[in-house]
Amino acid sequence: METFLLISLGAVLGANLRYWVGGWVAERLGAQFPFGTLMINLTGSLVLGFFLTLATQRFLIDPRLRVFFTIGFLGSYTTFSTYTYESVVLMTTGHWVMGSLNLLGSALLGGVAAGLGVWLGRLV
């Protein structure tokens, strides 16, 4: 039951941050391209790579905190299903280049962000 509650609490916080970041980015960059989702995916990848590197290679972090943060918070914060849906919508409405850029950009840049997070985690 404790694990369930930790995941749930993290998910509430992650979902609310996702909502706030998505809106904040859309206000600044517009909503024609899903920049908010891209930003969320990149920051989520960066933070996950950084945190898990610290948690598994550098410090002894309580497994409950890992569950709360990785499964609950970041699992709710990151938006893989949203980004794929938005990409498909862009492509099916004639915006093939933008849809493809979103798919490739999130995947490739997300990989770079996760790698950067791992690198930063190893520096600490």
Q: Whose CA is closest to 64, among 3, 5, 13?
A: 3
Name the packing angle between helices 2-29 and 35-53 (round to 10°).
Answer: 140
How would DSSP label each residue in 35-74?
A: HHHHHHHHHHHHHHHHHHHIIIIIS---HHHHIIIIIIII
Question: How many angstroms separate the CA atoms of 1 and 44, rounded?
Answer: 26
Question: How many angstroms separate the CA atoms of 35 and 43, rounded?
Answer: 12
Q: Residues forming the annotated binding site for Na(+)? A: 75, 78
